[in-house]
Amino acid sequence: MKILATYNIKGGVGKTATAVNIGHLAARDGLRVLLWDLDPQGAASFLLRVRPRVKGGGAALIKGRGDLDAAIKGTDFDRLDLLPADFTYRKLDLILDATKKPTQRLARLLRPLGDEYDLVVLDCPPSISLLSESVLHAADVLLVPLIPTTLSVRTLDQLTDFIAGFDGHRPKVLAFCSMIDRRKRLHRDIAERLPAERPDVARTIIPALSLIERMSLERAPVTAFAPRSAAARQYAALWAEVAERAL
Amino acid sequence: MVEAFPHDFVLAGDGRPPEDVVRAAIAPRYTVAPDGRPRSLRLTWLDTFDCRLRHAGLTLLHSVGSRVSDYTLTGDDGEQITAEAKGLRWPAPADALPPGPLRARVRPATWVRALIPTARASALVRRFRVLNADQKTIAWLTISDMSAPGGGAADLAPRLSVTAVRGYKAQARRIIRALTAAADVIPAALSPLDSVLAATGRRSCDYSSKIDVKLTPEMPARSAMQTVLLRLLDTLEANVPGTVHDTDTEFLHDLRVAVRRTRSAIKLCGDVLAPGTAEAFRGEFKWLGDVTTPIRDLDVYLLGYGGMAAALLAATPAELTPFHDHLAQRREVEQRELARALRSRRFLDMTKAWRGALAAPPPRRGMTAAHLAADRIRRADRQVLRRGSAITADSPPESLHDLRKRCKELRYLLEFFASLHDPAIHQQAVRDLKGLQDCLGEYQDGQVQQHEIRMFGAQMMAEHDVPATALLAMGELAGQIARRERRARREFAGRFEDFASAASQRRSRALTSGAG
């Protein structure tokens, strides 16, 4: 079982859209996929039409009292399951802090699912916190959406420096340019320059397309409701690149 | 009550499309939406010849469509495991299934037996989503219009299967309750496999190598033996195609057991058959037994090869490989010989004539089945006691071999006449005897196998260059077998004592009390 996390300190950069579309594409390719919506806002749960509620809340799951298995919901797509968000996830930092070895906690919780799933996708809330640290320790791959600004590149550097300081397991970091507006010169420049200059940035870009925004109306992955669209093609290319380079 | 999923219904139908019937039953809380195009599937159910999957509560289905080929393993509890199928032709061993959880469940249940098609059907399958108020899929509905080759389509009403999406079992149960209450929707009494078998006039799992015959004490002895022998002939013939095509090793095993039982029946009870019958067929069944022996001996080695190789201490399993190759080559030759014999005119004429001979009417007066059973079991039991008591620590191997044959005869008689006896007494009598038989079997097999290993070694040296390491490994193997044989010889006295005990003999008297 591989664990892939979509992560960025910033919000609104396309983490959830990426997690949902990548999860759907991986399941369509035959992998058994679990998507864990760790964001208390529950956007991934909303997109997959699952109510953002977990019996016993985040505390029960993290402390191991709640049955992770019982909380999992099937989605409308074969082989794609969801561990929904819960509003109590907003306190996950505090809950984790009260456990032993909090940074290892997520990895330990997910380990028993190894027989059941080939891929776990973690959709992380935008923050740098104990939860993010636990995610970084659990993940095999960090998929980092970068919006085309200089500050984004700086935060990517901060992240890779932070991970370089880990003892033992370190996730592979693969960033990609997200929400690219081809009409803007700055976006075009960064989208061309970054993959050429940095090996940890994917060649594939995800453009800013209204069809991706439409996911919240359709409540489905764009790869499902518009599989032949440019947006779906870009996500398919991104998934292929992630599978080839990082999994 | 916990509902099992998938949960199946049969749609009686009044001409309305099945999906409309379902829609009406579950509205307004839930709606139904089609999912993809209808799919035409060829369905093949797989099991071993002796139905090991079914006995283990498992059903294995191979579905092939234009874009899909997969296996579905369903447990009696409704749990399903699927796996993608790739270019496999049946029959095939469970090892040929793709690696994964499905194969892991199937393999131990099938043992060494091959998976063979047990039923076939074609189906037009349509899948629908059941949606809640959020338009979220909470269950899948599958409507299958099946038709069985040679079966009447009218006998196979459309089936509706409800499968809960993970985490939505409570809602799926609500749907099942609504469907159960609807007119024209009837909970399925038969599984899809059983309904296909029923439509083609077949019963599922109608093979057993056991002598399941019902005798009555007062029936003529001849009729009783004819019933037993016809059952054995049915078993023999049922195993011929699998033996000829070498589907798996156990077809030959069951065929041989049927032949051995028949030979014993002719020897011990042949006098009650029509005059001349036993004499006419004794030689033919000996021939049949003889042609099946060489390959079964090789099978015993090949089936136990993995265990033998793993138990080597001085040699490595790889060093034993030339021995395995030699056994496999000889087996190919012997298999061809056996297939030729079973296709021969001699075999076909013999089985046909035997069936005819077993139709002879019983004499007006004569022994009853109860009398025959008591008399022959008592005689066989005495033989075992007398010959076993005469065996000492110094007795030659032949005396133990002879005792083993007498034990087998007694065992077969107990099995022929089991339906005449109290089941508890019968089972205990078989258990008493089995302990002794196992010990004698271990001893004699050990003796024979040591001799055979020497013979195989000589054959290998005569046929081609054999590495010295292979012969050394075979020597170690012979040593392993010799140790088992000696242990069995040491245990014999105790095992025989158990068999000859007062309790065991009381049981024997209970079985033979009607003998004159």
What is the residue-wise DSSP string for B75-125? ETTS-EEEEE--S--SSEEGGGSPTTHHHHHHHHHHTTPEEEEEEEEEEEE
The answer to whether B166 contacts A74, with C-beta atoms less than 8 Å apart, is yes
DSSP state of B13: -
Residue A237 contacts residue A202 (beta carbons within 8 Å): no
pLDDT at B155: 60
**How far B124 CA lies from chain A's nearest CA (Å)?**
20
- Asked if pLDDT for residue B3 goes beyond 70, the answer is no
Domain boundaries, chain B: 7-199, 221-358+369-511
The SS3 call for residue B469 is helix
Q: Tokens standing for A246? A: 């990082």
Task: Please name every residue paired with B43 in a beta bridge, in sequence order, or none if there are none.
Answer: B63, B121
What CA–CA distance (Å, rounded) separates B141 from B131? Answer: 11
Q: Mean pLDDT across the stretch B264-291?
A: 97
Asked which of A165-174, B13-22, B427-436 is least confident by mean pLDDT, the reply is B13-22
Measured between beta carbons, the chain A residues lying within 8 angstroms of B135 are 49, 219
Q: Kindly indicate the confidence band of residue B219, based on its pLDDT and cuts at 50, 70 and 90.
A: very high
Q: Kindly indicate the confidence band of residue B76, based on its pLDDT and cuts at 50, 70 and 90.
A: confident
pLDDT at B177: 92
Q: Kindly indicate the confidence band of residue B2, based on its pLDDT and cuts at 50, 70 and 90.
A: very low
Max CA distance (Å), chain B: 88
pLDDT at A236: 97
Domain with A87 in it: what CATH number? Answer: 3.40.50.300
Q: Does B166 touch chain A (CB under 8 A)?
A: yes
The answer to whether domain B7-199 has CATH 2.40.320.10 is: yes
What dihedral angle (degrees, nearest 10) is formed by the CA atoms of A95, A101, A107, A108?
Answer: -90
Residue B13 contacts residue B157 (beta carbons within 8 Å): yes
Query: DSSP H helical segments within B358-501, as ranges?
Result: 369-389, 397-416, 423-463, 468-499
Domain range spanning residue A222? 2-245
**How far A141 CA lies from chain B's nearest CA (Å)?**
25
Query: DSSP H helical segments within chain A, as ranges?
Result: 15-28, 43-47, 57-62, 68-71, 92-97, 105-110, 130-138, 150-164, 185-197, 210-213, 215-218, 222-225, 230-245
Residue B31 contacts residue B131 (beta carbons within 8 Å): yes
Asked which of B77-81, B236-240, B369-373, B455-459 is least confident by mean pLDDT, the reply is B77-81
Measured between beta carbons, the chain B residues lying within 8 angstroms of A30 are 84
Asked which of B80-89, B124-133, B149-158, B496-505 is least confident by mean pLDDT, the reply is B149-158
Q: Does A74 touch chain B (CB under 8 A)?
A: yes
**How far A51 CA lies from chain B's nearest CA (Å)?**
9
- Asked if pLDDT for residue B396 goes beyond 90, the answer is yes
Q: Are strands B39-47 and B114-131 parallel, antiparallel or unpaired?
A: antiparallel
Tens of pLDDT, residue by residue, chain A (247 residues): 999 999 998 889 999 999 999 999 999 998 999 999 999 999 999 999 999 999 989 888 888 766 788 899 999 998 999 999 999 999 988 888 888 888 888 999 999 898 889 999 999 999 888 999 999 999 999 999 999 888 888 889 999 999 999 888 899 999 999 999 989 998 999 899 999 999 999 999 999 999 999 999 999 999 999 999 999 999 999 999 999 988 8
Of the two residues B21 and B234, the one the predictor is more confident about is B234
The answer to whether B135 contacts A219, with C-beta atoms less than 8 Å apart, is yes
Number of domains in chain A: 1
Q: Tokens standing for B148? A: 């069985």
pLDDT at B150: 67
The answer to whether B136 contacts A50, with C-beta atoms less than 8 Å apart, is yes
Fold adopted by B221-358+369-511: CHAD domain (1.40.20)
pLDDT at B16: 80
Q: Does A30 touch chain B (CB under 8 A)?
A: yes
**How far A213 CA lies from chain B's nearest CA (Å)?**
19
pTM for this structure?
Answer: 0.79
Residue A116 contacts residue B101 (beta carbons within 8 Å): no
- Asked if pLDDT for residue B154 goes beyond 60, the answer is no
Packing angle between helix B369-389 and helix B502-511, nearest 10 degrees? 150
Which residues make Cβ contacts (< 8 Å) with residue B421, sequence separation at least 6?
B373, B414, B511
- Which among A49, A70, A71 is the nearest to B136, CB-wise? A49
- Asked if pLDDT for residue B516 goes beyond 60, the answer is no
Residue of B nearest to A73 (CA): B167
- The percentage of residues in chain A with a pLDDT greater than 90, rounded to a whole number, is 72
Packing angle between helix B397-416 and helix B369-389, nearest 10 degrees? 160
